[in-house]
Structure 1
Amino acid sequence: MNPFEELEVDIILSGKCCYCGACGAFCKYGYIRYEDEKPVAGSCEHCGTCYDVCPVNYFSVPKTEIEIFGERRRDEIVGYYREILSARATDDAIRSVSQDGGAVTAILTYMLENGVVDSAVVAGRDEFWNPVPIVATNKEDLLTSTGSKYTQCPILLGVKKAIDMGRESIAMVGLPCHVKAIRNAQKNEFELGKVKIVLGLFCMETFSRDSFKRKLEEIGVKIEDVEKFDIKKGKLMVWVKEEVKTIPLKELRDAERIACKFCDDFTAEFADISFGSVGSEDGWTTMIVRSEKGEEIVRGAVEQGYLEVQSISNVEAIRKLASRKKGKIVKIV
């Protein structure tokens, strides 16, 4: 078998593919494309890149920690970190459209406006809530991408697009699977030195696009009418036409992507900074500062007035969910 056929047998056909976009982004010959959120290829030149970058196929925790953080973790549940804080944007325009405290958008805005990076790869969406990777170069671009989508986006395709555009200093925002994929890719011979900062988002699972849409239709919601999604207290909350409808998460279990059952990373453990809502007060973002680079960026954003921080209110809530995800993982054999 050629390397793509091995990837197909080991990962794709078994449902383990997380649709991160890495194999298609970094195939040296451009053979891999996506159909129905699955990689397909008509040919293969045996370069093996697709197999090497796939975060489900292989990921070395100890090696990556040493390379990114300089030492191993002391916290087996949350991963390596320097500090955990609550944060929020100081800009009302950012907070008004953000999921929680707008900390991710605030930090990206700080980096773009101060020349720390020249672009940011984030998940945007079309009018039907289909997530699409976009290359943001200013605050206005970022404001169009705020909010959780809860279905998967091939973010690594956005990284490849940014590189092809000639961007030299890139920030990437992704879920734990995206973070692992970019870390795998950075170990290979790509222009991934151009990805200067990796921001990760807490994630328990994402949902299959078609199944998610059907669940919304069961409560009388057309996905194109949705204004915002959120998950709070065991329920998916759906804002539509000034009304909030809910679905208990237990009723969405059969809509969960199969690949998510093989992931044990809730807090994006290999990002420079990780973000989520768990553990913070309403209107604030939980921020796990992991790397020295991440620490420098947070300091700069605070000093320049883009971000305000305070002590975290409930670290144990983070640990509880992170532990739960590690406990439910399906072992790959």
Structure 2
Amino acid sequence: MTEQPTEQPRHVPVLLDRILDLFGPAVSGRPAVLVDATLGLGGHADALLTAFPELTLVGLDRDPHALDLSRDRLSRHGDRAHFVHTVYDEIPDALSGLGLSRVDGVLFDLGVSSMQLDVAERGFAYSRDSPLDMRMDPTTGPTAADVLNSYSAADLIRVLRDYGEERFASRIVKAVVAARDREPFTTSGRLVELLYEAVPAATRRTGGHPAKRTFQALRIEVNAELDVLRRAIPAALAALRVGGRIVVESYQSLEDRIVKRALADLAKSTTPEGLPVELPGHGPRVRLLTRGAEQADEHEIERNPRAQSVRLRAAERIREAS
């Protein structure tokens, strides 16, 4: 029998009013389709379906438990909500399966969900001892324990440096390799203890929790988050009709950097420099709707601490690809 989570997950949507404002011009007052590519517990989706009565929403999530919970939450909207168990870079296949080709909006709320953080059994949080899992889809793929116990030292250093921006990666990995030779890692508590010992005391006093960067790096590696995101943003933009909008909420710099570059590239003309006129089919394909990345204000952060690190970017498709 599968053990049920011991805690009830909670979810407070981040920058909800701003998201409703951004999607309004693309979906209000007419039948429209919006993809929530990271459905989670359905907080944003519920608000969008309520605010726009003619909207149909396609909710994607790689976590089957999240889909079950959001299906219950959104049941009051009837057949206006559709649910697909998939990773969000598979947007074209998900839409094709529903007989759709173009949509009016795509929302990404990136990173680990409230449910995954709040339910101890998932192993995402370093504040409690639990199995070292960290899979967003717990039905498939290697766990964080598998990564710690099987990767070479060089690969572990790469993961911590590239995905956690951890400056003590070599020191941490040396300790991990010595510890796993004695006994394989299975729980988060043992890893946290090791990190407290491996990270210098001066850094612990000023640099936040010593496990934060390592846990982020392991989670990104286990779920291939950045590789998926690099494929997902172009796929989402390709699915937008002219006038459709994309909104992306990121929670760490690696994600935001990918989103920023993808949108900025499409917002530029590809006409060769020096030509006096814009060549047909070479103009920008999107119009940026935010100046840089927008952040939550102090009032929202006080109500919802998880909003502190959010960076929101949005764009509108203004022409088809050549």
TM-score under structure 1 length normalisation: 0.31
Point out the structure with max Rg over C-alpha: 2
- Name the structure where strand makes up a greater proportion of residues: 1
TM-score of the superposed pair, with normalisation by structure 2: 0.32
Pick the structure with more helix per residue: 2
Higher relative contact order, structure no. (Cα contacts within 8 Å, ≥ 6 residues apart): 1
